[in-house]
Structure 1
């Protein structure tokens, strides 16, 4: 690589979801390597997973001093408690235990949003719409263990991330079938969020609800099995489940598009949709996306892009860490005391 290595050693970057934790080392700006995916369930704590990665990969030369974790969770204050996994920890305690100088936590979809301008055309597949406005607001949505939402706003030649917990808005049914699915969920929960259905676990819930709607008694299926049967065309209920899911995602994406006026496009990440390939483009997603009543013409012009980059959030998290450290250095320089000599005494002034 041609990039200069960081003078104070490689930086640890991590993308932590409800199922998997992806770790890597950034040795210079944009120079990310030695990526490894660990199952969250295999480690009692975040610190255990991070230590296991560092023990295997380490860092040539100086030890790791700075780290960033993009986590599928709201990030507020020092204490982190994951929504879709059992890990909970103090950032300060974890930083001390791992021997770090810096441990920055950011929302995982904020990190993914930060990576969007860096993605190559080969890492994206467009589904409908026209060309994006280069100075337009960008929306991001992605279904995995949960439902992530974020925005990216152009400000003075730079991008500003709009963090969001939009996956937890109330689910909005768009037809009678979805109304019946929602009624089925209401038997179990008072509040049914979009994430409850538009996510990996949501696929299993949709399948269960559709079976109940049809009066069928069938065995529960894992989300991966539902997707496999649907893509192979071997199970009508799985096909209906996946297409219903795609339609629901179309509603979520369109709501985000009109909320943000996302003329820069809607990007789709997460673990589910990129696995669907061309099936997704043929699904009910785009028709639902454009079905916005008086704003149908507006929605029809907005392009949607499926992200196919392998670990895009790592690059975004690394960029956010770089900005954080740069801001710290600037603040320290501003606050650096200057020495003046007055009447033979050294005085410090700030």
Structure 2
């Protein structure tokens, strides 16, 4: 049996870290293991034909620092030497990057693995509690991120190591429980007959839910975008938008409670992304907490688990920086996801 050691996992500094989503890419450079990351302006993926062009123009051409290694988190499955992103046209080709940009070592992981790493690297100033509880220092944790889609990951601790557990939990079934749910669910847009969690708990899902509520009540929708619906729900100017947000956080609470039970997440549940940050007032109005704790016969167990909103605007970079500093602290599987110069 081969046990990892620091020499196996260590990265050569400076390290370029990057969080690449469908719309935005965020980069920073870690000069050494003690330095704070040097951040760069957020990159719009649509502004560059390739990720290589973006890194060269937006990062490397604007600094005298020459990164030796790179750790990239991407929204999509990491397979092979050509890694397609799910929601943009960029393709990550690590071997080509090493040739053209001089990296000697590149690690590519899933974006929600990076979010999971962040929850043990963020301090209390970057977390807002929406359900009280006590976080056990080495307790398992869950991250849910309603955004363009619904990302999800777990984080478990063993052998003095944190192991991120990425998955496709955003595509589990979500079903009706109340009489109001039964009125609304027939009007939700489905995928091959299914109402998966992501059909409700993301930006387009919020629009789907808003339209379904209007259809159930025989009304015409007034708003068209998640931003319009959330703004009207938060300021109370549209009763349907208010109900949409209340049900959105209710369904999110149900799912978060389920995931807390699956992972026995005594370290807490963490909500990431811009939607959660924007709707904190609704997350605190009691609907989320009631749904989260409504887990008989284990309601008392879930009641002790805290839930936080991650408020740091670049949380994934915090997680990537923590990994880059001390890879041995994290059980990241790098086989097939790490490229090193000969």
For normalisation by structure 2, the TM-score amounts to: 0.85
5+ residue gaps, structure 1, are: 1-5, 328-350
- Give yes or no for the alignment of 1:133 onto 2:133: no
Deviations 1:38-69 (A, max 9, x none): 22222233223222222453333xx2221111
- Give yes or no for the alignment of 1:51 onto 2:56: yes
Change (3 A) 1:180 1:23: farther
Change (3 A) 1:181 1:26: farther
Find the counterpart in structure 1 of residue 336 from structure 2. none
Cα offset, 1:163, TM superposition: 1.8
Find the counterpart in structure 2 of residue 153 from structure 1. 156
The 8 Å contact of residues 174 and 251 in structure 1, kept in 2 or not, is answered as no
Find the counterpart in structure 1 of residue 25 from structure 2. 21
Cα offset, 1:7, TM superposition: 10
Deviations 1:166-200 (A, max 9, x none): 11222333334444544333566433321221112
5+ residue gaps, structure 2, are: 1-9, 332-342
- SS of 1:205's equivalent in the other structure is helix
Determine the C-alpha separation between the residues in 1 that align with 2:56 and 2:16.
Answer: 11
Find the counterpart in structure 1 of residue 79 from structure 2. 76
Determine the C-alpha separation between the residues in 2 that align with 1:7 and 1:285.
Answer: 41
Find the counterpart in structure 2 of residue 31 from structure 1. 36
Find the counterpart in structure 1 of residue 227 from structure 2. 224
CA RMSD of aligned residues (A): 2.5
The 8 Å contact of residues 23 and 53 in structure 1, kept in 2 or not, is answered as no
Cα offset, 1:254, TM superposition: 0.7
The 8 Å contact of residues 140 and 263 in structure 2, kept in 1 or not, is answered as yes
Find the counterpart in structure 1 of residue 165 from structure 2. 162
Cα offset, 1:305, TM superposition: 1.1
1:81-160 equivalences in 2 (<5 Å): 81-160=84-163
Change (3 A) 1:7 1:117: closer
Determine the C-alpha separation between the residues in 2 that align with 1:94 and 1:193.
Answer: 37
Cα offset, 1:27, TM superposition: 1.4
1:165-204 equivalences in 2 (<5 Å): 165-186=168-189, 189-204=192-207
The 8 Å contact of residues 67 and 100 in structure 1, kept in 2 or not, is answered as yes
- Give yes or no for the alignment of 1:296 onto 2:299: yes
2:246 to 243, 252, 256: 243
Determine the C-alpha separation between the residues in 2 that align with 1:149 and 1:7.
Answer: 27
Higher Cα radius of gyration? 1
Find the counterpart in structure 2 of residue 40 from structure 1. 45
Determine the C-alpha separation between the residues in 1 that align with 2:103 and 2:195.
Answer: 40
Cα offset, 1:146, TM superposition: 1.5
Determine the C-alpha separation between the residues in 1 that align with 2:40 and 2:175.
Answer: 38
Change (3 A) 1:179 1:64: farther
Determine the C-alpha separation between the residues in 2 that align with 1:59 and 1:9.
Answer: 14
Deviations 1:76-103 (A, max 9, x none): 3333222233333433334434432222
Determine the C-alpha separation between the residues in 2 that align with 1:88 and 1:254.
Answer: 36
Deviations 1:283-312 (A, max 9, x none): 511111011121111111111111112212
- SS of 2:232's equivalent in the other structure is helix
- SS of 1:151's equivalent in the other structure is strand
Cα offset, 1:234, TM superposition: 1.0
Deviations 1:117-144 (A, max 9, x none): 2211121111223212223111111111
Cα offset, 1:323, TM superposition: 5.1
